[in-house]
Chains A and B, each alone.
Chain A
């Protein structure tokens, strides 16, 4: 998902899997970087950060949308554009907690 953050902060979010290209203006994005949760606001310094799998939340005004993202990169450009590129991004409401728990157990068994 490619989040293109344009003034104030437009986000262009692209995933490998779905290839959803969404461009929208948002107020803030919280990104699960490898160094911890990173908040990105308009005017953020230009940065390249890698993420670890986690929850990405997009705040637009009073609404917040949360996505679960697998690893990827975020490029924050100086003109308040942010590009978020991940392999997979799933909106949290599509994730079924029980199924995930079950699968986790299955895969942990397979690994060991």
Chain B
């Protein structure tokens, strides 16, 4: 506004100044300079560049804020489901034990498992912080832990992000890759079909599911759940491991005990998978919320700094104009 008033002043003084041809000196579109040409060839510094920058940063801030809201609402929807599904695997663990915890005390048990299959659960979409990288790191760690003569570890990958990271160096160890899990809302039927596929195609002694357990909106703990195949369970029970003695349980129905136990193991796997997939989805939304939040905050900081630069540039250009006008006027008087 001040600039417009000054410009008007300039025009009033113009008839006193010797007329001058106004040549349009346009800056080349390829190299925008900070110089702008106003009426009567008055030059002022352009704030256009800074203004464009500010506009784009503001848009980014809006987008990240919106993404945070979306992630928060998705989280709320999926959180109740997850908490409910936690009850599913608890009886299995109570009955059959969880191998990794045992292997700490009895390194032999870890050595006995020859064929390990690591099921890595990750997200399909990005912008969710570091959770996928932690899952992949743990999977690779498990692979290393279980490597040696006669022992092998295979990967089953759920989700694009883990696929991208694991395909690079462990391509030969990957058995199955499954993506686009979250196209439809997660439900048990989908997961049980998945579990079925995995059990059919992959030979295993122990299945280790790697996922991020959702503890709270800001904390996600990478976890490994183990499901043992029935032969191993029986072996451990006999050798007097920490597993509850399965023999003390009568098994009803079916022709053989083994058949029921096989069904049991498969059911356990699908329940644990269901829980793992839900927990990972929750963690993904939570991580995305916090990533987008810090992103909006950074954008806000950047916007503040740009606003200061913009104001400084604007004031400098006003000052320059003033100086030009005043020196012009004083030149006339003098």
A-B pair count, CB < 8 Å, reads 77
Q: In the complex, which of the residues A18, A34, A46 contacts B248, with contact meaning CB atoms closer than 8 Å?
A: A46
Contact B84 A21 (CB under 8 A): yes
Which residue of A has the minimal Cβ distance to B83? A19
Complex contact B84–A50 (CB within 8 A) = no
- Contact residues in A for B85 (Cβ distance below 8 Å): 16, 19
Residue A42 at the chain B interface, CB threshold 8 Å = no
User: B81 on the interface (CB 8 Å rule)?
Assistant: yes
- Would you call A21 and B87 a contact (CB within 8 A)? yes
Query: A-facing mask of B239-252, CB < 8 A → 1, else 0?
Result: 00000001011111
Contacts of A20 in B (CB 8 A): 84
Which segment of B57-65, B263-271, B308-316 sits at the interface? B263-271
Residue from the list A12, A49, A78, A83 in contact with B252, Cβ < 8 A: A49
* CB-defined contacts of A35 to chain B, threshold 8 Å: 252-253
Q: Kindly state whether residue B95 has any CB partner on chain A within 8 Å.
A: yes
User: Residue on A with the closest CB to B257?
Assistant: A48
Inter-chain contacts of B264 with A (CB < 8 A): 48, 50, 73
Give the nearest-CB partner of B247 in chain A.
A46
A25 to B267, CA, bound (A): 26
Q: Which of B250, B254, B261, B274 contacts A16 (CB 8 A)?
A: B274
Find out whether the CB atom of A48 lies under 8 angstroms from the CB atom of B254: no
Residue interface bits A5-16, CB-to-B below 8 A is 1, else 0: 000000010101
- Which secondary structure dominates chain B's binding surface? helix
Contact A50 B91 (CB under 8 A): no
In chain A between 36 and 75, which residues have their CB closer than 8 angstroms to a CB of chain B?
38, 45-50, 72-73, 75
The reply to whether B87 and A50 form a contact with Cβ atoms under 8 Å apart is: no
Contact of B260 among A19, A46, A50 (CB under 8 A): A50
Contact A49 B251 (CB under 8 A): yes
Please tell me if A103 contacts chain B, counting CB pairs below 8 Å.
Answer: no
Does A89 lie at the interface of the complex (its beta carbon under 8 Å from any beta carbon of B)? no
Asked if B78 is at the interface (CB within 8 A of a chain A CB), the reply is: no
Cβ B271 vs Cβ A48 within 8 A: no
Which residue, of B249, B263, B274, has the highest number of chain A Cβ atoms within 10 A? B249
- Asked whether A48 lies within 8 Å of B251 as measured between CB atoms, the reply is yes
Assembled-state Cα–Cα distance A33/B188 (Å):
22
Complex CA gap A45/B192 in Å reads 31
Q: Is B88 an interface residue (CB 8 A)?
A: yes
Contact between A48 and B81, CB atoms less than 8 A apart: no
B87 near A19 with CB under 8 A, answer yes
Which B residue's beta carbon lies closest to that of A71?
B267
* Alpha-carbon gap, A14 to B267, bound state (A): 14
> Which residues on the A side are within 8 Å of B87 (C-beta)?
2, 12, 14, 19, 21
Known A-B contacts A16-B271, A19-B83, A50-B263; the reply to A85 vs B253 at CB < 8 A is: no
Please report the C-alpha to C-alpha distance between residue A98 and residue B283 in the assembled complex, in whole angstroms: 42
Known: A19-B81, A20-B84. A46 touches B249 (CB 8 A): yes
Q: Which residues of A contact B253 (CB under 8 A)?
A: 33-35, 49-50
In-complex Cβ contact of A14 among B88, B250, B263 (8 A): B88
Q: Mark B195-236, 1 if CB is under 8 A from A, else 0.
A: 000000000000000000000000000000000000000000
9 contacts between A and B (CB under 8 A): A14-B91, A33-B253, A34-B252, A47-B249, A49-B253, A50-B263, A50-B264, A72-B267, A75-B91
Given contacts A14-B88, A20-B84, A75-B249, 4 further A-B contacts (CB under 8 A): A21-B84, A21-B87, A34-B254, A35-B252
